[in-house]
Amino acid sequence: MERLVDGVCALPDGRPPWCAGAVVLAGRGPVVAAEAATGWALRYRAHDPGRDRGVDLARERREPMRVGTVFDLASVSKLFTAIAAVQQVERGRLDLEAEVASRLPGFAGSGITVRQLLTHTSGLRPELPFYERDGRAAQLELLWSEAAAPEAPPGGTYRYSDLNLIALQLVLEDLTGRGLDVLVRDGITGPLGMSSTSYGPLAPQGVAATEDQRRPWAKADRGMVRGEVHDENAWALGGVAGHAGLFSTAQDLAVLCRTLLNGGGYGTARILGPDGVAALLDPPGLGFAVDQPYFMGELAGRGAAGHAGFTGTSVVLDRATDTFLVLLANTVHPRRRAGGSAPRAAAATCLARAAARAG
């Protein structure tokens, strides 16, 4: 596993490395089977568009990757929003079959349900340019317009959309009268002792850098992003969003994985009941992707669940073998490109084969 992690920072044939640095943590049952870091949390000072490559910092100014480095989780944040929603379902306060319009008048007439948000069957398009609008009201007008005329009929085929989790955040905040950051802190990270998991902004030291955000390759001109959310829409929405915005470490995410594999409890803390965990992880999954080989490799096929994030992050947990894998990388440093998920799938396959050999 350690050799595989080293390899993701040094691809052959002159191609750019998949990432500047990475951390992997894999476990089975209560045992951490592998934990390693490689590469750089901060390597580049900028991206050079003329040469289409990063501008290296002097070696003494770089920051090495460590197993405790904090990462922008990108869409892995969606798992926390989904857990917060299922917690409200367990308490009898949220009905999965309820129409979103019962909480958000802007969805009136859409027929979209809470379950459809969580299963990406609402018909909403993948994203909207909130970053082009000033002010919350103007941003949400985009969402209301989309809800009035979604790209596809609600209840149809799977269509992955950030808008689903943004809308779910608004539902939860209207239902509870608390911000999503408070719901996540009080209901998940606080009870589980995940002290390195929070929404930004964070002090940059110890945080993996993401992108030198500039147009035309990015959607905003922000320079090198480090400690602030990479996703432009989450940034425009104030840094706390249902689809992105959380920062965390591999160790903290391992605690979350073990909690779910344990049926919702960890130590003396319990954040969900077994039925709630099953609702999240059983196909088709509520907020969780299920059996997706592109980042789960050979762990996929028996009900493995998790999520991947645009910045290079992924979490996979497999109830069939009681194993989990956290792979965190800064693949968008110094700029985004279509790097694929082969290293994530390869790491998951390595774990699947190790579990098979161990029996």
180-231 pLDDT per residue, tens = 999 999 999 999 999 999 999 999 999 999 999 999 999 999 999 999 999 9
Task: Using pLDDT thresholds of 50, 70 and 90, give the confidence band for residue 8.
Answer: low
Does the pLDDT value for residue 16 go beyond 70? no
Domain that holds residue 335: 2-80+181-358
Q: Is residue 167 part of a domain?
A: no
109-153 pLDDT per residue, tens = 999 999 999 999 999 999 999 999 999 999 999 999 999 999 999
Task: Using pLDDT thresholds of 50, 70 and 90, give the confidence band for residue 167.
Answer: very high
Q: Is residue 176 part of a domain?
A: no
- pLDDT value for 105: 97
Q: Is residue 90 part of a domain?
A: no
Q: Is residue 87 part of a domain?
A: no
- pLDDT value for 223: 97
Please answer whether residues 328 and 273 qualify as being in contact, where contact means their C-beta atoms are separated by less than 8 angstroms: no
Tell me the pTM.
0.96
Give the C-alpha distances (Å, rounded to integers) separating 182 from 172, 186, 189: 11, 6, 10
Residue 3, class by beta-carbon neighbours within 10 Å (0-12 exposed, 13-18 middle, 19+ buried)? exposed
Q: Is residue 162 part of a domain?
A: no
- Report the CATH number that the domain containing residue 348 is assigned in CATH: 3.40.710.10
Query: Average pLDDT, stretch 158-181?
Result: 98
Q: Is residue 163 part of a domain?
A: no
The count of structural domains within the chain is: 1
Q: Is residue 221 part of a domain?
A: yes
- pLDDT value for 339: 79
- pLDDT value for 11: 43
Query: Average pLDDT, stretch 247-275?
Result: 98
Share of residues in the chain with pLDDT > 70 (%): 96
Q: Is residue 108 part of a domain?
A: no
190-204 pLDDT per residue, tens = 999 999 999 999 999
313-346 pLDDT per residue, tens = 999 999 999 999 999 999 999 999 887 899 999 9
Q: d(Cα 280, Cα 89) in Å, to the nearest integer?
A: 11
Angle at 340 between CA 336 and CA 344, to 5 degrees: 115
- pLDDT value for 17: 83
Mention every residue, 6+ apart, whose C-beta is less than 8 A from residue 319.
261, 281, 303, 304
Mention every residue, 6+ apart, whose C-beta is less than 8 A from residue 11.
17, 18
